[in-house]
Structures are given as C-alpha cells and as structure tokens.
C-alpha cells in the first residue's frame, strides 16, 4: 500500500464497508457502494482507452457522481481535472487546451457549452454525460450516459499497483489571471493537505494505514459547502474518506439549504469560504425556516465551523461562537503550497495590527526575504513552504521558476507571493495577497486588512478593496461595497468608521456602491471586475 489517494480510499472501504460515505442531494452511498460504482466507472474509462497519466475532466456541481468519477480516475492512475462550472465557452476552451483531457464527465445542463468547445479539443475523445433533469441534446457529441458507463464496467478491484508518484493536478481559480494547473505527486499532496500531517501540531503519519485507523472510534460527518472543483473541498473529501468519515454535499450554496442539511444529517463540521458564505449563514439562523416548518433549525450536532480560502471577519466569527456555541477556525493555504497552518478563533479577538489572521504554522511553513533567507520574528516577508510541495505548474516553466524556487543551501521552497510576519512560538500572521497589495506613496497596504475594517461597518454587507491609480501617490485605496438592504453608506461614513480600525493612509479614498459584489464560487473576490468598477 502506498501514500496514494486511491489506495487510501480502498483501505477505508476494507475497514468500514457498511458505513455511509457520501450523502449528496438525496443520493446515498456506503463505502462499499461508492467503491463498486467507482470500480465500474474506472473499468469503463480504461476500456475507453484512458491510460495511466491521462487527464480526465469533471464538469459538474457538487453531486455524488463528482466523487465517484474522481475516485475512478485515481483508481486507474489517471489525473482528475477540475472544471469551473462558471466558465464561459472561451474560458472552458482555454482550460481544456491547457489540460488536454482525453475524456470528460459532465452534467447534461452544460451540454451546450461542451458542444461548442469539445470539437476544438484535439485530445478529447470520450464523453460521459450525467443526467440532472435537464433535456439539452447531446446526440451530436456521442456522449455515453453515466449510468450506462457505470453498468458496463466490472465491479472488481483489479487495477494493479499504484505509486505515491502518481500525479494530482489542481487548476487554480484564476482570480487574477487565467487558471494554472498545479502538479503534485500524490504522496506530497497527502502530506501537505490530505491528512498525512496534522496541521494543528505538525505530526506526520508513518504508515498509509494510519489514516483509516483514525476512524475506528466512529465516523463524524463533514460538510464542505464550497464546490468540489475547489481544492479545499476536494482535499476535505479525500482526506475524510480516507479516515472512514461521512461526507455531505449540496449542489449549490443556499444558506437555508445548508442548515436544513445540518439538521437532517446531524453534521458535525461545516467548511465554508469566509464571509461570502458566513454572512448569509449566520443571518439565516434567525430568519424563518425556508421549508415553512415551525421553530428554528436544530443545529445541536454542529461543533465546528472551518473556513478556508477567503477572509473570515472577526465579527462574524464572534457571531458563530455566540449564536451556535461552535469552535471556529481558519485553515490557511493555497493550491501551490498546501496547508500552511490553522488558526482557532477566540471570542472578541480582533485582527493583529497590520494584518489578518494568526495561525499556528505547520513545521515546513516559513517567512522568507527576497533571497529565500528565513526571517526573524517581527519582520515582514513572503510566506513560503518547504518539504512536500508541488512539482510546478503544468506547461509553464517560466511561472514555475518564479514560484517554486531553490535557495543557495539547496532547499526548495514554494513562495506564492503572500505577505506574512513570524510572531514567535510557531505563530505566523497573514498580511495579504502579494498580487493585490496596494503601494501608496511607498507604503504597503494589505487589502484584506482594509476589507475587514470596511465590512465591520453596520451598513456594509460585503466589500472588495483594490488599488487605483493616483497622480501623486501612485496608488490609492478604493472599495466596492454591497450595502445591506435599505442602507446607503457614504464615503465619509466609511472613512470615519475605518479610522477607528486602521491607520489613516489605509482608509479608502474612493467608494463605489453596487447591488452585488462579484466573487468566485469559492468566495474569492473578482479583482479585475472591482478594479473596473472603481476606475470607470
């Protein structure tokens, strides 16, 4: 047995065959049922010519077939390609041109987009369509119905040995540019974010079997709300399936739908992506139930709310702790680095001066200067990680050389560009995205810090901060605000509020009000859009 994603899942199947593995939109699979269907689909893909190392795209919302397809692909040593369901045809064409999949599993509702793009993708030779209640025609595509594909394959697990060197590939969200494929060895991704290391204390497992053994005392129920095409949800699903845990999925985010699922499935942990999900969720707690039932949702099974990938404001963390009595945590990492660490919220805690959250860093996380020298306590540098890190970006040696760098002493680091500060005792404070940092008159301004201050204003529902050109200072701070219903905050009111939270030079000088801010399905801000709003 190897540190391989399919091997880890199969070992959990052997230990807990009758446990429920996945609950998704009314569909249920035990571990043995999930295994059988993944085996059948894997054999179908192999019979269709998918070979080890070949890429297979999955284009769907959070449905049980996503999990089945992902496992099937890894079983035959293929490489799963995550497709953003929000992409228009041009973006989809770019992704598929980069990824070069030989096969694709897609929901029927995306048939028109697939039909427009697929004929232009030379590598793509096999399509499988998942029924979803829509009636778009796939006849011209020659797509095989998903259930037919599953039924045609053998249920046997006879795929031969796999390796920790098998590839895991994740395409980034592309919030500041086009998506890039981050290539990992599977063993490295398991130790970076797949459960091979405990992010709270840095302890590593010694044997692959240890992951399944962690579930011997009973399985918990984990509910990742972000899309499966997002890395954090993929990692959460794969990690928890390797431990014999139970996964709940819903196809689209809806706050009341989330709480109803928590109530019905007795969920223990939900995973969100910052304020974009946290705010509607906490507001829904006090709203009338969407299903018309009396009373409030029974959320007594829930003991933790974990956030990743996006800003989670201290005031919202306090609201979750006060209203629900749960543990609230931030997991910090990136597609390129894996987990850098975890921060557990304390009631009444505010963001540290000049920064965002403070995390207990995993042992391989460091703060570096521009020459890759580790920095001492209190000095701002770039957040990096060594050890189990990716091989690089797919087909992009130039960008790979910029982000995956080797120090003079031979240590290889991944340095995505985010600013951070070492605070001692293994703590690191995150300051901001390097690509979004504002330089105003020589002063660095971290947009996350300003966003946190703006969103603390009672009239603000959401905010995105960007730097806009300024004749004297080079750049100045601008903010796009989605007000609360019936409110219309002024620039002066925002400025007065922010001056109680942050230094004067960080206070926004430009305000644009919009009906709704634009964010990716994973909660990340659409920065090009925000910049255009502020500069038009």
Q: How many CB atoms lie within 10 A of CB 444?
A: 15
Predicted confidence at residue 426, as pLDDT, reads 85
Predicted confidence at residue 431, as pLDDT, reads 80
Q: Bridge partners of 476?
A: 468
Predicted confidence at residue 355, as pLDDT, reads 57
Intervals of the chain under pLDDT 50: none
The whole-model pTM stands at: 0.87
Q: Are strands 181-185 and 412-414 parallel, antiparallel or unpaired?
A: unpaired
Predicted confidence at residue 424, as pLDDT, reads 82
Instruction: Say how far apart CA 441 and CA 443 lie, in whole Å.
Output: 6
Phi-psi region of 295 (alpha: psi -120 to 50; beta: other; left: phi over 0): left
- Distance (Å) of CA 182 to CA 124, 209, 229, 294, 336: 21, 27, 14, 48, 6
Instruction: Say how far apart CA 68 and CA 81 lie, in whole Å.
Output: 14
In a domain, 263, yes or no: no
Q: Which domain holds residue 530?
A: 435-535
In a domain, 395, yes or no: no
Instruction: Say how far apart CA 202 and CA 386 lie, in whole Å.
Output: 13
Predicted confidence at residue 245, as pLDDT, reads 96
Predicted confidence at residue 353, as pLDDT, reads 53
Total number of domains in the chain: 2
Across the chain, how many H-helices and E-strands are there? Answer: 16, 28
Last residue of a domain, one of 224, 252, 280: 224
CATH of the domain at 77: 3.40.50.12780
Residue 236's φ and ψ, nearest 5 degrees, are: -65, -40
Q: Bridge partners of 79?
A: 55
Last residue of a domain, one of 224, 239, 273: 224
In a domain, 503, yes or no: yes
Q: What is the pLDDT of residues 296-306, one digit of tens each?
A: 999 999 999 99
Last residue of a domain, one of 194, 224, 254: 224
In a domain, 323, yes or no: no
User: What dihedral angle (degrees, nearest 10) is formed by the CA atoms of 295, 298, 303, 306?
Assistant: -70
């Amino acid at each position: 047995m190897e540190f391989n994603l399919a091997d880890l899942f199969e070992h959990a199947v052997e230990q807990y065959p009758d446990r429920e593995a996945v609950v998704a939109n009314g569909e249920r699979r035990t571990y043995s049922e999930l295994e059988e269907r993944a085996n059948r689909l894997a054999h179908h893909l192999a019979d269709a010519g998918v070979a080890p190392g070949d890429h297979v795209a999955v284009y769907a919302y959070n449905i049980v077939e996503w999990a089945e397809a992902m496992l099937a692909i890894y079983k035959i040593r293929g490489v799963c390609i995550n497709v953003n369901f929000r992409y228009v045809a041009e973006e989809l064409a770019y992704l598929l041109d980069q990824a070069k999949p030989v096969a694709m599993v897609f929901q029927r509702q995306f048939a028109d987009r697939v039909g427009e793009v697929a004929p232009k993708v030379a590598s793509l030779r096999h399509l499988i369509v998942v029924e979803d209640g829509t009636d778009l025609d796939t006849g011209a595509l020659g797509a095989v119905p998903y259930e037919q594909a599953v039924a045609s394959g053998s249920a046997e697990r006879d795929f031969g040995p796999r390796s920790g060197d098998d590839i895991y590939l994740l395409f980034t969200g592309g919030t500041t540019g086009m998506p890039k494929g981050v290539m990992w060895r599977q063993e490295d991704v398991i130790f970076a974010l797949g459960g091979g290391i405990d992010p709270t204390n840095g302890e590593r497992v010694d044997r692959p079997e240890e992951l399944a053994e962690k579930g011997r005392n009973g399985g918990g129920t984990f509910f990742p709300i972000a899309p499966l095409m997002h890395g954090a949800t993929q990692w959460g699903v794969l990690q928890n399936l390797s431990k014999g845990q139970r996964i709940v999925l819903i196809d689209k985010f809806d706050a009341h739908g989330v709480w109803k699922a928590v109530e019905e499935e007795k969920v223990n942990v939900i995973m969100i992506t910052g304020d974009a999900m946290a705010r509607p969720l906490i507001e829904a707690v006090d709203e009338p139930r969407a299903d018309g039932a009396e009373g409030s949702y029974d959320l007594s099974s829930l003991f933790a709310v974990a956030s990743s990938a996006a800003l989670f404001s201290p005031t919202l963390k306090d609201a979750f702790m006060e209203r629900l009595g749960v543990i609230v945590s931030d997991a910090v990492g990136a597609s390129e680095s894996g987990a850098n660490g975890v921060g557990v919220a304390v009631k009444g805690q505010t963001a540290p001066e000049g920064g965002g959250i403070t995390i207990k860093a995993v042992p391989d996380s460091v703060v570096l200067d521009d020459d890759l020298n580790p920095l001492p306590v209190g000095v701002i540098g770039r957040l990096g990680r060594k050890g189990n890190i990716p091989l690089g970006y797919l087909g992009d040696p130039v960008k790979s050389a910029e982000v995956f760098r080797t120090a003079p002493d031979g240590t290889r680091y991944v340095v995505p560009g985010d600013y951070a500060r070492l605070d001692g005792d293994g703590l690191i404070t995150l300051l901001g995205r390097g690509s979004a940092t504002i330089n105003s008159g020589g002063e660095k301004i971290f947009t996350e810090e300003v966003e946190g201050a703006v969103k603390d204003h009672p009239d603000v529902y959401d905010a995105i901060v960007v730097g806009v050109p300024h004749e004297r200072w080079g750049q100045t701070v601008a903010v796009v605000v989605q007000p609360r219903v019936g409110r219309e905050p002024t620039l002066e009111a925002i400025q007065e509020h922010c001056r109680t939270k942050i230094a004067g030079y960080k206070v926004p000088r430009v305000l644009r009000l919009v009906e709704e801010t634009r964010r990716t399905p994973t909660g990340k801000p659409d920065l090009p859009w925000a910049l255009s709003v502020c500069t038009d």
